[in-house]
A and B are shown apart, each in its own frame.
Chain A
């Protein structure tokens, strides 16, 4: 498990996205324990302070919760997980639509192209986001 980091973006945001992706795709189930700061730092070869910050942000957003003496866990609220999924989808869509508009497509055409494309292709697992899993 490694992340190809983009040094131009804050690392903690990239790790947040990575963990959210793991949650949304079910690799980290609801209520499951999240690796410790030390372990994740060693695994991703990242400064532990950065991981610490990532976790703090995740807690602030309600994605993770820490239980005293036990560690950190993924939230068990399904709504929260759904919300993350929607949020990530929104980000993807925003970037996609922005790109399409730059190419000169209007709203109708974008919808049409997407509809055609979805019919042609079998649905894929996951998807591509920034901070892709390598």
Chain B
């Protein structure tokens, strides 16, 4: 699994370095240029957060793409490893990249804290954190983001495997429809059974208006059943993905 990941990273090396550089440059630009043109602190923070979200999505796309290439590639498929390894290495890849994103974000927060910008934001009311869990905040946020992206990835990988099992045109459309369909279904289930306490990455943060952010504030007790549900679902997604890779994904 780690060896597969190693070759994924070797292959994507330039894209990864380029992406990281682009993110850091973008954040610097928001910080420095924003100051020059007299942008509000709150607007800068929202813009940065949007930047993070955008890169989070790019990471998902990159991981999906790498997974798709892998399950189709003769060289990779000849390797004497079970198909679970392809899913595992893609998930690890996603975790790793999101981890890097979180570290950059964490450093960003430290900078906000050290310069007093964080207090400014909180005082102006454009940024509110109501964290009443026993878990420390940075840890909690990381957990939500990482688990959310993992869960979403298991779904996306399943859809990739479905797409690569089909042999006709228009499979991309079907894949998009499948992503939307399955995620609507899971959030509907979560809403009706667990009162909307899901941890899905894309809905984890709510940007309520142009310059107002809210972090989800569910306590662990409320999240746990939803988390367990998501765990079972992602295991199911992975199981189907592995079956599809074994049975019907066409290798080039």
A contacts B: CB pair < 8 Å: no
